[in-house]
Chain A
Amino acid sequence: MLHLIWAGVVWLIVLTLIPIQRIKQLWLIGVISFVWLFIVNFIFIQLGYFKFYNAFLPIGGVPLFHLIGGAGGGILLMNWMQRNNLYKIVLIFFFSGLLSLSALVHIYYGAMVHSASFTHLE
């Protein structure tokens, strides 16, 4: 359920804030984000660092809607990207923080569990 809410909220933000023409320009980023998020999650799940629970349609342990939400997140990230390299660092830190916060909510509602050695620093 939580993964559905995650995907719903992220895509609602995308469709509310970004004009359709802009989304059409950035659709490829949605695809890359989906694939990359799957690879990273799959590797960390297989290595036993974390696990998703209450997943609807999991692929290799990764909930499908988690990836769908991530695709929307990738579009939001690149939508506000600028040439300035310091701005890039701030934006990456900000989105990393949002992902950690989202993981915290997932853990809070029992949709995700970290292994003992894996912390929010990683």
Chain B
Amino acid sequence: MVTIVWASVLWILVFILLPLERIKILWPVAVVSFIWMFALNYTFIQLGYYQFTKYILVVGGVPVLVPIGGAAGGILLINWIQRSAWFKIVLVLVFSGILNLATTVFMWFDAFKMLHGFNHFLHFVVNVAGISILVWLSLALVDNEKIYNDKDKTRFIR
């Protein structure tokens, strides 16, 4: 149930906030976010650092709806990215914090368990590293001019 809410909320946010044209530009980011989030989760689950305990459809221990939600999260992240290196650091830290917050909610609902000394601090560090790599991958895949210079990035916020 939590994984359905996670994926739905993120994709609803994407479709409400981003114009369709912008989503079309950023679709490769969704694909790479899905694959990268699956790979990271799969690695950490297999190494015994954490596990998902409530899910609908699971592949290698990773509930499919988690990377599906992550794909939308990746689009939101890259949608607001800017050229400034400082801005990139702040954005990566904010999105890592949001992921930690989401994990806390998952834990409240007993859908996620940290194991063998893994904790919120290490999770945050992993999030920062993972999201940084996602930013570079996305910037390598999508035309940077389109990412940075599009005037219609967000429907309601200018």
Contact = CB atoms under 8 A, between A and B. Distances in A.
Interface of A: 47, 84-86, 88-89, 92, 115-118, 121-122
B125 A88 contact: no
Prevailing SS type, chain B contact patch:
helix
B137 interface: yes
A116 B137 contact: no
Interface string B45-84: 0010000000000000000000000000000000000000
B125 A122 contact: yes
A118 B122 CA distance: 10
Given A121-B47, A122-B125, A89 B116 contact: no
Contacts of A117: 116-118
B121 A47 contact: yes
A85 B139 contact: yes
10 contacts: A47-B121, A85-B136, A86-B136, A89-B140, A115-B117, A116-B117, A117-B117, A118-B117, A121-B47, A122-B126
Contact of B140 (A85, A92, A118): A85
Contacts of B116: 117
Contacts of A47: 121
Contacts of A84: 140
A42 to B, nearest CB: 14
B133 interface: yes
